[in-house]
């Protein structure tokens, strides 16, 4: 069964949206097989967002992602990586349609509530990064 690493970002926790977002994932039929709340530091964010470290917005992204706890999850299901990305909506809030998590709840590009792996390879790397050998 395919696995995705999903992470509810600090804005989801601060806005008390984690229950509603988790419900959307479960309503779609996906199974959460591991979950924990944690605080991230810059070191792990430089790994997780390695593709963005040279972007001008990276310091803001670190500030946001360390501003409060996140909820990391392993989510399982058929084609779950693509399925979660569809539930999330695209990165940019103005492209995310109503009905998607970002389309319904996000109005900035940085604070967009949720992370979901973008490929099988990155899912396995991210699961190892945040859950070890789960
Ligand atoms: N991000 C940002 N500004 C941008 C692009 C991305 O602050 O112009 C943040 C945003 O929180 C995004 C994260 O960096 O979710 C990771 O970017 P990526 O391109 O991987 O988007 P995602 O996979 O989260 O849709
Ligand atoms: Mg990404």
The pLDDT tens digits of the residues spanning 6-59 come to 999 999 999 999 999 999 999 999 999 999 999 999 999 999 999 999 999 999
Q: Whose CA is nearest to atom 2 of ligand 1?
A: 110
* All residues at 6 or more sequence positions from 97 whose CB lies less than 8 Å from its CB, including other chains: 89, 103
Q: Whose CA is nearest to atom 13 of ligand 1?
A: 110
Closest atom, ligand 1, to C-alpha of 118: 23
Q: What is the pTM of this model?
A: 0.98
The number of CA neighbours under 13 Å toward the Cβ of 38 is: 12
Closest atom, ligand 1, to C-alpha of 108: 7
Provide residues with CB under 6 Å of ligand 1. 49, 52, 57, 61, 91, 109-110, 112, 115, 118
Segments forming the whole domain that contains residue 114: 2-131
Q: How many CB atoms lie within 10 A of CB 85?
A: 17
> In this structure, what is the dihedral angle of CA atoms 2, 25, 127, 68, given to the nearest 10 degrees?
170
- What is the total count of domains within the chain? 1
CA 7 to chain centre: 3
The pLDDT tens digits of the residues spanning 54-101 come to 999 999 999 999 999 999 999 999 999 999 999 999 999 999 999 999
pLDDT at 6: 99
The tokens describing 7, both together, are 């992470």
Domain of 114, CATH number, reads 3.30.70.141
């Amino acid at each position: 069964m395919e696995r995705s690493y999903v992470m509810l970002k600090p804005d989801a926790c601060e806005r008390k949206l984690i229950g509603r977002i988790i419900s959307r994932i479960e309503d779609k039929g996906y199974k959460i097989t591991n979950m924990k709340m944690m605080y991230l530091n810059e070191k792990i964010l430089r790994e997780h967002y390695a593709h963005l470290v040279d972007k001008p917005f990276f310091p803001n992204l670190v500030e946001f992602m360390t501003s409060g706890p996140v909820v990391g999850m392993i989510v399982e299901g058929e084609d779950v990586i693509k399925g979660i990305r569809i539930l999330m909506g695209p990165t940019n809030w103005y492209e995310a349609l109503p009905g998607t998590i970002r389309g319904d709840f996000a109005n900035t590009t940085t604070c967009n509530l949720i992370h979901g792996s973008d490929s099988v390879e990155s899912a396995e790397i991210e699961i190892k990064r945040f859950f070890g050998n789960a």
